[in-house]
Structures are given as C-alpha cells and as structure tokens.
Structure 1
Amino acid sequence: MPSGAVRMSRKRAPEPASQLGDVPERKRVSWGILISQGSWADRSPLHEAASQGRLLALRTLLAQVTPVTKGCHANIATIDHVTPLHEACLSGHVACVRALISAGANVNAATFDGITPLYNCCSSGSVGCLELLLQNGAHTRARHAHLPSALHEACKRGNSQCVESLLAHGADPDLKVPQLGSPLYVSCLHRHADCSKILLHTGANVNVGRGNDSPLHAAVRQDSRDQVTLLLDYGANVNSRDEDGRRPLELAPPGGPSQQLLVSFQGSPRTLCQLCRLRIRNVIGRSRLKHLPRLPLPPLLTQYLEHM
C-alpha cells in the first residue's frame, strides 16, 4: 500500500491514464488507493445515475419500486455498503440527494469503513447536500469514536461552510478521533485558517490537539502566520509541550514568521483587554456563546466578546 494513501468509500476498476486526467480532482483524491482495486461489478444503475447526477434516470429507476418494497431500492448497497446516496453526496448532486431521501434513502448509512453520506458531503464541499442530510436526521457524530468524522473531513479539506453548518447543527467542535486529534488540530495541520476561526469562534478549546501535541504545535510546524496569530489571540498555551517535551517555539523554523511571532509574544504579556475577553468567554461557556448577540449589551461590547 503506498504511503499517504487515502481510504475511501467505493471501488473502481483501473482506468487508463488518459481517462484519469479527465476525472475531477476531488474524486481522484477521494477514490484514493482503491481506484486500482477490484471492480464495480456490484454497482447498480442507481449508483451510476446518482454519481453522474442523471436525475431523470434516477427518478425512473426509483419509480420502478413497488409500494411494498419502497425504500429498499433507494438503499441498495455494494459489497462495501456504498449506497446511491453516498455517490450523490460525493459528487455534490443536490437534486439527486433530495430524490433519494424522498424515496427512503438512509441518511446515516455507513460503508464498510464507516464513511457516511455526510462525510462525503464534506469531502466534496457540497453544503447544499449537507444541509439536506442534516434537515432529514443525519447524525453529526459517528456511531463509534474511532470512525471517520464529517467535521474532521471538512477541516482537512478546508470546506469552511461545511464546518459552519455542522457546528450550527450541534457538532462537537472538540470531538477527538484517536488517530486525528481534534478538528482544530486537523485544520491547523492543513493550514485552513478559515476553519480554525469558525471552530474557535464557536468555542473550541484552543489547546486540545492530538495527545500532547497542541494545535499551536501543528500551526508552528507549518510556519503559518495566520494560524499562529489566531491561536495566540484565543489563548493558546505557548509553554505546552509535545510528546518529545518540546515547546512550540522550539519547533518554529529559524527566522520564519512563527518564530518571530512567538518571540515577540513571549517578550510582552497579553494585554488586560485580551485577558478579560478570554476570562469572560470561559465563564460564559461554550454552549452559551451563541447567545451573546441576545444579551442587552452595546454592539461594540458584543463584538469584543465574539472576537469580531
């Protein structure tokens, strides 16, 4: 198995290099190593129609189901438990997703390796498909802690709108997956400052990463000025130590922006304004931060507490 390979929710037969060049980048990434394994002999015409966004063909196939078996056809699955809904979400076909849900498709169906339609929405960045799933009962959290998380996938891909939507529907911004860490750690690792800002604004713990490795450690390794500045502003602990006992400053590339920021930060303590904001937000608590705009406060004070 090649290093860095990405597991995914469906198989495909080998394709000539000329054909692979025509495949959208997001699908090539999602297919990962399974692009050259096995075949799709167990895929149904419904899978193909959903994947290609052929709505008329999809509706025709769904209409062939009798009232007695309604819902079974929409949930037809491959040997790896990939359903047509998985395919439609991975390709971002909103109309097909709506048609499948109307026909009884299971919005929480999971593949053999735990991939859900919601996860595939976050891979493709389809907010429209994601919203449809959430409105129809999709779970923001996987059934088991070790299974893939849609929120982690959105943070990895930098799909900030998906991150925002998941959090608005109750996703835990501090959800930890053993091999990945927290969503904030993943967004820092992949240099997606927009996702990090949304997570922190919602109340994600700025110091929760992967094991002893904090989000600040991850941001410093990437030498990301935006990420480091953001984390420091939300109270990141500059003295935390990773598994090898190293502080973030010790990991910063010499002469890089991260090193300059950390040296400057350690030379001057946080202002009283910053300390007060962090303390007030901590007392309010993550679950109540969303109610800040409802408080009878001057707009300027509300913006101050919201980091606006």
Structure 2
Amino acid sequence: LAGESFPFTSSTLRALRLQREWLDWEDRRRAAAQQCRRHRDLPCPQAQLLRPRRSCRDPAVHNALFSGDLQQLQILFQDEDAANMIVETVSNQLAWSAEQGFWVLTPKTKQTAPLTIAVARGYTDCARHLILQGAELDARIGGRAALHEACAQAHPDCVRLLFTFGAKANVSSEEGMTPLHLCTSPESLQCAKLLLEAGASVNVASQESEVTPLHVAAARGLEQHVALYLQNGADVALRTSQGETALNAACAGAEGPGSSRQHEAAARQLLEAGADPQAAGRKRHTPLHNACANGCGGLAELLLRHGASPGVTNGAGHTPMDCALQAVQDAPNWEPEVLFAALLDYGAQPVHPEMLKHCANFPRALEVLLNAYPCVPSCDPWVEAVLPELWQEHEAFYSSALSMENQPRQLQHLARLAVRAQLGSHCRQAAAQLPLPPLLRDYLLLGVEGRIQ
C-alpha cells in the first residue's frame, strides 16, 4: 500500500520489505518457542526455525576476509548474523558457447562462508574471531564445510582450531566427500593425522564414485598417507563404483616413469598389506595393465614379483605387453626395453610381428623383442617407420636385424631360448640364483648388445 501511495525509492521499499520479513520471522520464532515450552516433555523433537542467512558482496568484506585483515574483520563481524553470512564472489570463467561456436568468458557466482575463507587461507586468528562470534563450524555453504577447505589447503593449525571448538571429523560435502578425502598433497599429512585422532573414518566411501581416502592417497602416490591409513585399518580390498581397488588407483595414477617412484612405494605398501595384484575393474583392466600403459617398468616388475599375470587380457583383448607397446610413443624419454624384458622374463609371449612398428625408433627395445623369437621375423612391418637420422645413428643394429631376417640364429641364442622356456615365468628369479657369470646372466635375461646375431 505504501508503495502505491507514496513515491518511495527502491532502496526504501527494499528496507521496508526486509523489515516486514524480519517481523514475520520474529513472530514465527516466538510462536515456535512457546510451542516448545508447552511440549518440552514430549519425546518427539521440535524443528528449530533458523534465521535466513543474508548474502554479501561488499568489497570491504571481501578484502578483509581474503587478505586476513584481523582488525578490519573485528569491525565488520561483531555478531552471529554477520559471522554466518553468505559471501558471494563473481569470477569470469571460460565456457563453451554452442550458439557462438567459441569459448567465452562467463561470470560465475560462488557462495561460501567467512569461516571457510579464513581457514582455506590459513588465517587462524581470523578464524578464531569468527568462531567466537558464532560462526557455524560445519555449515556447507557452497558445498564444503570449513574443515574440508582447511584440509584441502593443508593448514593443520586451522584443523586443530576447528576441532578445539567441536567440528565434526566426518562432515560430508555435497559430493559426499569427507575432509580425509581432501588430504591430497604431501603437506596435508599432519591434517590427516589430526582427522584420524579426532575419529575420522578411514574406510568411508564417497557417494557416487565410492572412492575411499586410501584410493585418493594411492592415486596421488602419497606413500606416507597410504602408510598412515593402513596403520589405522584401511581396507585394501574396497572397490570404487568402477570396481577399482587402491592398487589399481596407484598404478593408474603413475603418469609415466618420472612419477612412478612415489606410486611404486605406495603400491609396495598395498601389496605388503595384502592387496590383490590381479584385481581388475569393470573393464578387466588389472594393475599391471595400468603400469604398462603408463610405461612404469619398476612398478610393473613389482607387480610381477607379487604374482601379477603378464598374459591376462583386459576388456579390449589387450595384454599388458600390448599396453606397453602402445605407450612407447607417449613417453619418448623412458627405457621401454626394461619393461619389455621384465614382461618376457615373467612369462609374456613374444609380440605379434605387426606390433614391432610401435618401437621401430627405439632400437634397444626392438632388440629385446626380436631376441624373443627363434629367428628374426619379416622386417617389413617396422623398417619403413625408422627415422633416417636414427637409422644412421644405429646403423649397426638395424643392418644386423635386416641381415638376419628369416635366417637361422646362432646356437647360443637358441640355447638361451630353450633355457628361458624351461624356466618359464620364473626366469628372472632363477637367473639370480644360478651360479652364472654376470655377462652370461645378462645374456640369458635378454641384455642389450647393440646388434642381432
């Protein structure tokens, strides 16, 4: 009525509307309080009416929170209502526009809480002030609670502060992740310890993907996290929604030989804790398939020593050797001959001659594979793929391979293959125990000589 009778400005009308909403809320609160007093002896709980949170885009508030200005924060946040406001930030992000046919900057609004901002940046004093003003510890504004962000950003002092005031260790985000799931960096180890001391569940699975903290740590090669979780009862047999175990995650997460050391250490701990090296996901991809697809020779040999089968096929019909051959071009700076020799020593069959083209420009790897045959098969599948400059550099090897095409090999080579066939998948272990000279042992294990004889 007032808006129709008087020329009020929009800000005045908004103030009147907010005042009316506040009065309505106060009336409902009083009515609920009276009802609670009348029925306080009844066993059924009464629903608590919560005050609606107010949103804020004030730059002064943003600057105080994001810069950790405690003095300004103490001025701006002096009551529970302010401490629990919704802080909105707007940032431009690239998004694909189907109508325009190219990427465009699109404004995206993100909501969070003041306490979440403070702990995510490690502002312990600011976080303490907000908590003392009544900030809700486990509020999930924007999908995550403050404890999630403190762990994700590896701020153990903030984690300790939140626990001091009663934060829940197993609070779940909107994606079903607990704070322990977000300990994803080496620096977050102390946060993980604090969570476990506070009662965090080490075997809790996320809602959709069903990953556990052990899966997360193994996939990132966090060997100390893996050891910590295993000490606290983590189950190595738990699977994700895709049927992957933590060992699968460790082998899949090793993105190339350069990053395999940490993942190899994590995988070793999992295997020693009883992880199944043959466990395959829904696509029948085993840990050995993953290790070979990533070109991780040391990790593959670790799995082979613990009983992984080099002859098993995945859902696409590929063996670990097939995966290793396909990975040769993806990681040019590694030594594929080490991986190929390990697979052959543990019982893998020689590759189909058509597959030799994948390692035509890796003479050392090609030599290992050619020495797995009684005689050198046709070179036509791979000879045209050799780069001219590489041929010139390794002409002795390539020429020797061509000269031995479909020709009888030396008796020494045939004897080597006979011994390897007799030893089968135990070739590498047996060679280490036999009283052989080092040169003969290397020859038995397909050591690289630089030419085919």
Q: Structure 2 counterpart of 1:183, which letter?
A: P
Greater displacement, 270-279 / 252-261: 252-261
Which residue does 1:92 correspond to in 2?
A: 221
Following the alignment from structure 2 to structure 1, what is the Cα–Cα distance between the partners of residues 285 and 385? 35
Query: How far has the Cα of 1:112 moved from its partner?
Result: 1.2
Following the alignment from structure 2 to structure 1, what is the Cα–Cα distance between the partners of residues 228 and 244? 21
Which residue does 1:127 correspond to in 2?
A: 264
Structure number with greater Rg is: 2
What whole-Å deviation, never above 9, does each CA across 1:254-299 have from its counterpart, x for those lacking one?
6655986763331643222111101121122223541223234444
Are the counterparts in 2 of residues 86 and 120 from structure 1 also a CA contact under 8 Å?
yes
Which residue does 1:22 correspond to in 2?
A: none
What whole-Å deviation, never above 9, does each CA across 1:141-172 have from its counterpart, x for those lacking one?
11568422111111111112211211121211
TM superposition score normalised by structure 2: 0.50
Following the alignment from structure 1 to structure 2, what is the Cα–Cα distance between the partners of residues 259 and 298? 28
> Compared with structure 1, are the counterparts of its residues 197 and 304 closer, same or farther at alpha carbon in structure 2 (3 Å cutoff)?
closer
1:157 equivalenced with 2:294 (yes/no): yes
> Compared with structure 1, are the counterparts of its residues 16 and 179 closer, same or farther at alpha carbon in structure 2 (3 Å cutoff)?
farther
Query: How far has the Cα of 1:48 moved from its partner?
Result: 0.4
Q: Structure 1 counterpart of 2:204, which letter?
A: I
Query: How far has the Cα of 1:77 moved from its partner?
Result: 0.8
Which residue does 1:28 correspond to in 2?
A: none
Greater displacement, 189-198 / 139-148: 139-148
Which residue does 2:433 correspond to in 1?
A: 294
Following the alignment from structure 2 to structure 1, what is the Cα–Cα distance between the partners of residues 93 and 287? 31
> Compared with structure 1, are the counterparts of its residues 237 and 138 closer, same or farther at alpha carbon in structure 2 (3 Å cutoff)?
farther
Which residue does 1:234 correspond to in 2?
A: 372
> Compared with structure 1, are the counterparts of its residues 260 and 77 closer, same or farther at alpha carbon in structure 2 (3 Å cutoff)?
farther
What whole-Å deviation, never above 9, does each CA across 1:210-264 have from its counterpart, x for those lacking one?
xxxx2x422314533333221001227765xxxxxxx762465366559867633
1:193 equivalenced with 2:337 (yes/no): yes
> Compared with structure 1, are the counterparts of its residues 197 and 83 closer, same or farther at alpha carbon in structure 2 (3 Å cutoff)?
same
Following the alignment from structure 2 to structure 1, what is the Cα–Cα distance between the partners of residues 306 and 223? 19
What whole-Å deviation, never above 9, does each CA across 1:76-100 have from its counterpart, x for those lacking one?
1112111111111122211111111
* Aligned pairs for 1:248-263 within 5 A: 249-250=380-381, 252-253=383-384, 256=387, 263=402
Higher-strand-fraction structure: 2
Give 3-state SS (helix, strand or coil) of 1:154's partner: helix
Give 3-state SS (helix, strand or coil) of 1:54's partner: helix
Are the counterparts in 1 of residues 238 and 245 from structure 2 also a CA contact under 8 Å?
yes
Greater displacement, 43-52 / 86-95: 43-52
Which among 401, 406, 412 is matched to residue 273 of structure 1?
412
Which residue does 2:232 correspond to in 1?
A: 103
How well do the aligned residues superpose, as a CA RMSD in angstroms?
3.0
Q: Structure 2 counterpart of 1:189, which letter?
A: Q
> Compared with structure 1, are the counterparts of its residues 286 and 52 closer, same or farther at alpha carbon in structure 2 (3 Å cutoff)?
closer
Following the alignment from structure 1 to structure 2, what is the Cα–Cα distance between the partners of residues 108 and 265? 49
Which among 201, 223, 228 is matched to residue 73 of structure 1?
201
Which residue does 1:56 correspond to in 2?
A: 190
Which residue does 1:43 correspond to in 2?
A: 177
Which residue does 2:350 correspond to in 1?
A: 206
Which residue does 1:20 correspond to in 2?
A: none
Following the alignment from structure 1 to structure 2, what is the Cα–Cα distance between the partners of residues 57 and 101? 16
TM superposition score normalised by structure 1: 0.71
Following the alignment from structure 1 to structure 2, what is the Cα–Cα distance between the partners of residues 58 and 147? 32
Following the alignment from structure 1 to structure 2, what is the Cα–Cα distance between the partners of residues 254 and 143? 34
Following the alignment from structure 1 to structure 2, what is the Cα–Cα distance between the partners of residues 255 and 297? 36
Query: How far has the Cα of 1:137 moved from its partner?
Result: 0.6
Following the alignment from structure 1 to structure 2, what is the Cα–Cα distance between the partners of residues 60 and 285? 49
> Compared with structure 1, are the counterparts of its residues 127 and 144 closer, same or farther at alpha carbon in structure 2 (3 Å cutoff)?
closer
Q: Structure 1 counterpart of 2:311, which letter?
A: D
Are the counterparts in 1 of residues 280 and 287 from structure 2 also a CA contact under 8 Å?
no
> Compared with structure 1, are the counterparts of its residues 198 and 252 closer, same or farther at alpha carbon in structure 2 (3 Å cutoff)?
same
Are the counterparts in 1 of residues 242 and 281 from structure 2 also a CA contact under 8 Å?
no
Q: Structure 2 counterpart of 1:76, which letter?
A: V
Greater displacement, 295-304 / 265-274: 295-304
Q: Percent identity?
A: 27
Q: Structure 1 counterpart of 2:368, which letter?
A: L
Q: Structure 1 counterpart of 2:347, which letter?
A: G
